[in-house]
Structure 1
Amino acid sequence: MRVFVTGATGWVGSAIVQQLLATGHQVLGLVRSEANAQALTAAGGTPHLGSLGDLDSLRRGASQAEGIIHTAFGLDLADIAKSSTEEQQAIELFGDVFAGSDRPLIVTSGLGFAPVGQVLPEALTLPEIPGFPRAPEPATRAVLARGVRATFVRLPRTVHGANEQHGFMPMLIRLAREKGVSAYVGAGQNQWPAVHRLDAARVFCLALEHGAQGGPFHAVAEEGVPFKDIAEAIGQHLGVPVVSQSPEEAAAHFGPIALFVAGHGPAASAQTRARLGWQPTQPGLLADLANYAVS
């Protein structure tokens, strides 16, 4: 299958490209720069220059494809609203191109928060996160309602792996190193779901090969890791004390990510495993933290 992958050189997208090529698919990858184009070519894919804001480029790429895996999102986190609008327009365009066919569209989404005692299932319609208006799921459901084979894969709060540079784990490690302590909030029993990027990539590829049928899917290897355990692993990794903080102290310590640090959101993946035949094989989050750079 010839697959159009947006965000083809990103953290998750590059792993998806690797998995697609290894299983005999061809990849046409959306990239923003010549440097990324060279990286994708070296990996074995075909670059397609453009961005989510360039609808003409997206249409050309989608028109050449037998399937789409969408992982890209705008780089300007200071203007989430603009990036969210671009993404919704891109999903609508993909639906236009694939309308009347059986070509599958797989969209990336994320997991939010859950009340204590609740585990987020695949079938749940997630509420919006205040201040973070990204909403790929309503756009995907609208495309699905038009008869397009579309679904989404939800990624957990941490998609970990060696050489990660921009996710929550590197941010938490940098904060602990800079401030001399690895902190958690209260008792630290709020849970974070997690998955290794290579295991996550297999969910996307399996969802594609299943024709986007049976979703939504959760790329979740570990249902919920207590945040205190994460803080302790980081503290051991860096050789710094591990401390509990009040919500007020944590707001100052963690800054804009304090909401996520204290957030609780375990998520199930039993339906995903059963419908796709997926089983994670990579290291868990706490074991993988030993592979993260500390310099």
Structure 2
Amino acid sequence: MRIFVTGASGWVGSAVVPELIGAGHEVLGLARSDASAGTVAARGAEVVRGGLDDLDTLRAAATGSDGVVHLAFGHDFSRFDASVQADARAVETLGAALEGTGKPLAVASGTPALPGRVATERDHPEYPPGSPAAGRAANARATLDLASRGVRSSVVGLPRTVHGEGDKGFVAWLVAGAREKGVAGYVGDGSNRWPAVHLSDAGRLFRLAVEQAPAGSMLHAVGDEGVPIRDIAEVVGRHLGLPTAARPAEEFGFLGGILSLDQPASAAVTGELLGWRPVGPGLIEDLDKGHYFTGGSGAGSR
């Protein structure tokens, strides 16, 4: 198939693009800048110049493709509402281009946060209006609803951490924060759990979604159902030679609210539907490989 991928130059795209190409698919990758275009080309994909706001470009690329993987999302948390709105416009544009064709559209989202129990693919919680989670959940529902318009749509819920060598997301932020403050911190008693998945496993699930997922499928790319935040902090502290301790949520900035939530998630339904099983290392094993602690760590987007 000829697959159009937004976010092809990003973190998850670094696994999705080669996974698709390795399976014999042709990939077109969206790239807004010269640097992104170079990255997309180096990954073996044909470059489509433009950004998420270039709706005519999205429409044309989707129309000329056999399917779409939509990964791009702005993770600047100071502009999260704008990112959600841009994502909504992109989903509608891509869906309209594929309407009535039966072609696949796989869209990245997040796994639900249901404190106290493990979230499954069948959970579609209602979040407080105006909250960041509510916006992304609405876009996920809009994607699933495209099934009624003749699109083989699916949503791949990514956990809080998609880990691997080169990750600059939440775990890298925790490492950088520990270095800065001299303590590997956690919130509360540290029992709150984060789901996680290795980058390679996430890439493989997006390929399976494009190839096999039935219309209207909610999927979870989850390897570890829930890793206690204190366990993560203890590994960080051990590798950096720092103490581990409870710290106020405010000390972590925007990340404090996320660290304060218990949000485990399961991929059992996804495994039954597509035969997907995580084979990459778990988060703690990956942390113990040491690559999160060499060189600088910092913020980045999926």
Question: For residue 253 of structure 2, what is the amino acid of its counterpart?
Answer: G
What's the C-alpha RMSD, in Å, of the aligned pairs? 1.5
- Within 5 A, what are the aligned runs for 1:64-79? 64-74=64-74, 76-79=76-79
- Tell me the equivalent position of 1:144: 147
CA distance in 2: counterparts of 1:142 and 1:123, whole angstroms: 15
CA distance in 2: counterparts of 1:193 and 1:225, whole angstroms: 6
CA distance in 1: counterparts of 2:213 and 2:255, whole angstroms: 36
- Within 5 A, what are the aligned runs for 1:126-165? 126-128=125-127, 131-132=131-132, 133-134=135-136, 135-165=138-168
**What is the CA distance between 1:73 and its match in structure 2?**
1.1
- Tell me the equivalent position of 2:181: 179
1:54 aligns with 2:54: yes
**What is the CA distance between 1:212 and its match in structure 2?**
4.1
User: Secondary structure of the equivalent of 1:188?
Assistant: coil
Q: 1:163 to 1:231 in 2, by over 3 A?
A: same
CA distance in 2: counterparts of 1:254 and 1:75, whole angstroms: 17
- Within 5 A, what are the aligned runs for 1:106-125? 106-116=106-116, 118-125=117-124
User: Secondary structure of the equivalent of 1:11?
Assistant: coil
TM-score by length of 2: 0.91
Deviation per CA, 1:230-254: give whole Å up to 9, x if none.
0101111111000123xxx232x21
- Tell me the equivalent position of 1:275: 273
Deviation per CA, 1:44-67: give whole Å up to 9, x if none.
110101111110111111111101
Deviation per CA, 1:90-127: give whole Å up to 9, x if none.
111111111111111101110232121x1101011033
CA distance in 1: counterparts of 2:100 and 2:37, whole angstroms: 31
- Tell me the equivalent position of 1:201: 203
> Identity of paired residues, percent?
45
- Tell me the equivalent position of 1:104: 104
Deviation per CA, 1:275-295: give whole Å up to 9, x if none.
111111111101111221343
Deviation per CA, 1:127-179: give whole Å up to 9, x if none.
337631334212213322323211100000000000112x1011000000000
Question: For residue 219 of structure 1, what is the amino acid of its counterpart?
Answer: A
CA distance in 1: counterparts of 2:244 and 2:142, whole angstroms: 42
Deviation per CA, 1:215-264: give whole Å up to 9, x if none.
2100000111111100101111111000123xxx232x211110111111
Uncovered stretches (5+) of structure 2, i.e. residues with no partner: 296-302
Uncovered stretches (5+) of structure 1, i.e. residues with no partner: none
Q: 1:115 to 1:211 in 2, by over 3 A?
A: closer
CA distance in 2: counterparts of 1:184 and 1:230, whole angstroms: 9
CA distance in 1: counterparts of 2:252 and 2:245, whole angstroms: 13
- Tell me the equivalent position of 1:38: 38
Relative contact order higher in (CA < 8 Å, ≥ 6 apart): 2
CA distance in 2: counterparts of 1:244 and 1:232, whole angstroms: 11
Question: For residue 158 of structure 1, what is the amino acid of its counterpart?
Answer: T
Q: After alignment, is 137-146 or 122-131 more displaced? A: 122-131
**What is the CA distance between 1:39 and its match in structure 2?**
1.8
Q: How many aligned residue pairs are there?
A: 289
